[in-house]
């Protein structure tokens, strides 16, 4: 599964693996993209793929299902948190991906990185 804004290896560092889906593609891509955008304050969607989503670190044993993986635009987005009062601002995110359950539009997991 290939995205323009991050590599499978970058996701793997955070414990997420995206592979070919095991079932048929869901027709709910637009709703999944809207749910993902709401997760990150309405950021625009770059791209989305229907994939099999699994947790490789076993943080979330339940994450082993087909889902929508939605990449969000983080241009000029500097998330709150990670800053020290009076210190330098936090580095902006290089990428942010949200995993959305088809049909329910429930957010299963998300991952972002400041280091690309």
Q: Which pLDDT value is given to residue 52?
A: 94
87 phi/psi in degrees, rounded to 5: -95, -175
The answer to whether the CB of 82 falls within 8 A of the CB of 75 is: no
Regarding pTM above 0.75, the answer is yes
pLDDT for 35-86, tens place per residue?
888 887 778 899 999 999 998 886 656 789 999 999 998 887 766 555 555 6
* Domains of the chain by residue range: 8-113
CB atoms within 10 A of CB 104: 12
Q: Which of 62, 57, 61, 44 is nearest to 5 (CA)?
A: 44
How far apart (Å, rounded) are the C-alpha atoms in residues 26 and 4? Answer: 22
User: Which two structure tokens, joined as six digits, stand for 18?
Assistant: 């995206």
| Furthest-apart CA atoms within the chain: distance in Å | 51
Q: How far apart are CA 112 and CA 110, in angstroms?
A: 7
Residue 100 has pLDDT above 70, yes or no: yes
Angle (nearest 5°) at CA 16 between 4 and 100? 75
CA nearest neighbour of 69 among 16, 14, 10, 13: 16
């Amino acid at each position: 599964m290939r995205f323009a804004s991050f590599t499978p290896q970058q996701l793997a560092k955070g414990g997420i693996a995206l592979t070919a889906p095991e079932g048929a593609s869901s027709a709910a891509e637009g709703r999944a993209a809207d749910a993902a955008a709401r997760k990150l304050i309405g950021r625009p969607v770059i791209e989305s793929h229907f994939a099999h989503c699994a947790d490789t670190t076993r943080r979330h044993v339940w994450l082993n299902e087909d889902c929508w993986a939605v990449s969000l635009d983080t241009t000029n987005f500097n998330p709150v948190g990670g800053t020290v009062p009076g210190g330098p601002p936090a580095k902006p995110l290089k990428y942010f991906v949200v995993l959305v359950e088809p049909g329910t539009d429930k957010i299963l997991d998300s991952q972002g990185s400041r280091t690309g």
